[in-house]
Structure 1
């Protein structure tokens, strides 16, 4: 008896927040992980789950696509949907989004790097690491890191290592300073209480 599969979220076709092609690629990648996690290898079942899980909008699109293959041809179904969704990637827009991505207040360098790495995948850069390094230098929140990167010719790995070290030292220094302030406040209260 087959075990019940938890539902997989449908693909949202009509969402203008990010490009359609980028969202499709991400959805399909996660869907294939879902299939692997549930050990689904039969092509007919994979295709049925793809069309069921993707939702009504995708099923309606799929019904009118050419070269969809037979009911047991998963790869042709994926190819047909990829041909429909992937040309919708606007590289100029993806580069624009990448270039306008800044490190958020309170965001760690690792988290910022991960966001940039994800965005760079759709930009088709010839040297992704160099583009990410440049974006970090231009828009990170640490002026110390920026100055060091401008002073030294660091690789992306060295830049990230230096940024992590700066974050750790800032966090530790803040902890010491907060502890000192707390101790000073306690001393002032004790002095004031002894005068009363």
Structure 2
């Protein structure tokens, strides 16, 4: 990072809701630490000064109100981090962190990796022994993809294999939405299954369900499916129905 130039990072907003402060502080602090790593800043004096600067006016006022014993001196970066973390998370019990973890569902537009990261952040406060197994179960029960759920219930999958499968489905859906030929990107085993399942309907369009090839543009292009809500196919041709 060049001298005199620092990238923008949104200040932390202190709210009356202790639970909201706890979850948002964890996210904010993770982002700040990543910023320090990206900028190559390792000196504790600079890291502490930047923490105070980036945290914003509300946090700065709370730091000023702390005793020297709690916030430490100019070179005590970790001590200040610990003091602020205690300040914003002390009111949230381990039981409540578990409650938040169990209530966390994948959002409609949230990628599987973002959902996984959110669960990973929450579970750190739950003190589970088998974190990967807990996250795996949570994703299976609360992800938005029925295909992921059905695959995971049919066969034993590790967390990493489930994430890889979910990422592949997201890429495939994105390519289909843009009417890109996806056959070259489908694993051979999956392609063989599709060929076996559609061998009797080679003249039917996968997107609109009508005769194929079309004389012009597929009538389903740009249309929203009434079954799954995704673009570029009709409900009668929706693959989610048979999964």
Question: TM-score scaled to structure 1, two decimals?
Answer: 0.70
Deviation at 1:177, TM superposition (A): 0.9
Give distance in 1, aligned partners of 2:98 and 2:39.
36
- The change in CA–CA distance for 1:88 and 1:126 in structure 2 (over 3 A counts) is same
Deviation at 1:171, TM superposition (A): 7.1
Give distance in 2, aligned partners of 1:82 and 1:42.
20
Give distance in 2, aligned partners of 1:5 and 1:119.
29
Give distance in 1, aligned partners of 2:160 and 2:43.
42
More deviation in 149-158 or 172-181?
172-181
Which runs of 4 or more aligned residues in structure 1 lie more than 6 Å from their structure 2 counterparts after TM superposition? Answer: 168-174
1:66-85 CA-partner distances (Å, limit 9, x unpaired): 31223343333333323322
1:124-157 CA-partner distances (Å, limit 9, x unpaired): 3221111111122222334444344334333223
Output the aligned Cα RMSD: 3.6
Aligned length: 187
* Mapped pair 1:177 → 2:223: no
- Does the CA contact (< 8 Å) of 2:12 and 2:25 recur in 1? yes
In the TM superposition, 1:36-55 aligns within 5 A as: 36-55=37-56
Deviation at 1:183, TM superposition (A): 4.1
Give distance in 2, aligned partners of 1:99 and 1:120.
10
Question: TM-score scaled to structure 2, two decimals?
Answer: 0.59
Higher relative contact order (CA 8 A, sep 6+): 1
1:42-76 CA-partner distances (Å, limit 9, x unpaired): 44443332222212211221122231223343333
SS in 1 for 2:74: coil
Give distance in 2, aligned partners of 1:115 and 1:76.
26
SS in 2 for 1:186: coil
List alignment gaps of at least 5 residues for structure 1: 188-196
